[in-house]
């Protein structure tokens, strides 16, 4: 192998590695929410706020909301775009990311970008004042 061929091969190899590194670093994997399985009592602090339709709170890496229709729902709290905590907007019955404006429906599905991946949805079971969240 002569010098020109060696330098050409070396340059191509370096460019390939740099490109692969950039693509791997730029790739936005869909973050999954945490795996949870816990139960709480709506009469115990800090969960008492969830007794009011339209309210929400963060716990264990998830956001739990009591929708305006009185249904308790839970999704991962981190926006799938850049990880900011989403908020529940009771006026629009949706989750909203205040950082860049992404919105998600009550099942966690993207309804407006820049997020392209859904929030993880959790199963919520209500039995009287006892609420179980798992998934």
Interval 24-66: pLDDT, tens: 433 344 446 889 999 999 999 999 999 899 999 999 999 999 9
Of 116, 119, 100, nearest to 108 (Cα)?
119
Write down the pLDDT at residue 47: 95
Residues 6+ apart with CB under 8 A from 60: 34, 36, 38, 133
At 4-19, the pLDDT tens digits run 554 455 444 444 444 4
Q: Is 2.102.10.10 the CATH number for 37-134?
A: yes
More confident residue, 1 or 57: 57
Give the pLDDT score at 2: 57
- Asked whether the whole model's pTM tops 0.85, one would answer no
Q: For the chain, what are the domain ranges? A: 37-134
Q: What's the average model confidence in pLDDT over 84-102?
A: 95
């Amino acid at each position: 192998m002569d010098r020109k061929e060696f330098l050409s091969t070396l340059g191509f190899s370096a460019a390939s590695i740099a490109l692969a590194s950039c693509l791997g670093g730029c790739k936005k994997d869909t973050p999954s929410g945490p795996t949870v399985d816990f139960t709480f009592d709506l009469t115990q602090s800090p969960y008492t706020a969830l007794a009011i339709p339209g309210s929400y709170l963060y716990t264990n890496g998830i956001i739990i909301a009591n929708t305006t229709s009185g249904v308790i729902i839970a999704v991962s709290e981190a926006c799938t775009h850049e990880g900011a905590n989403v908020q529940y907007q009771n006026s629009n019955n949706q989750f909203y990311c205040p950082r860049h404006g992404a919105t998600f429906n009550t099942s966690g599905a993207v309804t407006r970008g820049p997020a392209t991946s859904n929030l993880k949805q959790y199963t919520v079971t209500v039995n009287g004042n006892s609420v179980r969240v798992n998934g």
